[in-house]
Structure 1
Amino acid sequence: MRAYKFRIYPNKEQIKKIDYILDLSYNLYNAMLEQRKMAYELKKDFYYNINVNYTYQQNQLPELKKEFPEYKYIYSQVLQDVANRLDKAYDNFFRRINEKEKGKK
């Protein structure tokens, strides 16, 4: 199997669009992370049964697009990938904690 790498040479307008999308993606990631942290604190302090996971956050994306019109111009797959990356980061974090407790590595 061959892997090809392609280099892109965006013009100034394309660079602005890419930076704008990245900035919105960073903001979305941080907001989703904060949502998970708040759900954890509520569960810990007040015994609320709130389960914030990938599916929950992915299902909130259409509401997000309605509430914040700037997200309308980003493909939904990009926003879903942000939620997926956060979910993978959480999974890897807790997997490493469990491995340390069991004496691995």
Structure 2
Amino acid sequence: MRTLLSVIFLMALALPAWSAEFRYELSVDGLACPYCAYGIEKKILAIQEVESDSLDIKLNEGLVVFNADTDKQISEDSLKELVNDAGFTLRRLETSALGDETQDEDN
């Protein structure tokens, strides 16, 4: 009985450490060259929860796609500020939980 209670207690302690994974698709004005892509790439990879192997920047489409393993979604305001700090304009943001087909935000 004590072992079972210990396991339940440890699982309860680990619960806050569990997080969801979100996919972000940003339409960005001004992405025209590899140097531009590098500037926004540095900003996005500075977010600790971003999986670097998930980052995809499509210059011709002005699209930046990445996954982040976070407790909650990264806010639109935070992403808009990040994009602006990199010297670009965020035109549209789509956020979805991985495995979820519905889009949560659309500008």
Q: TM-score, normalised by structure 2?
A: 0.30
Q: Is the helix fraction higher in 1 or 2?
A: 1
Q: Is the strand fraction higher in 1 or 2?
A: 2
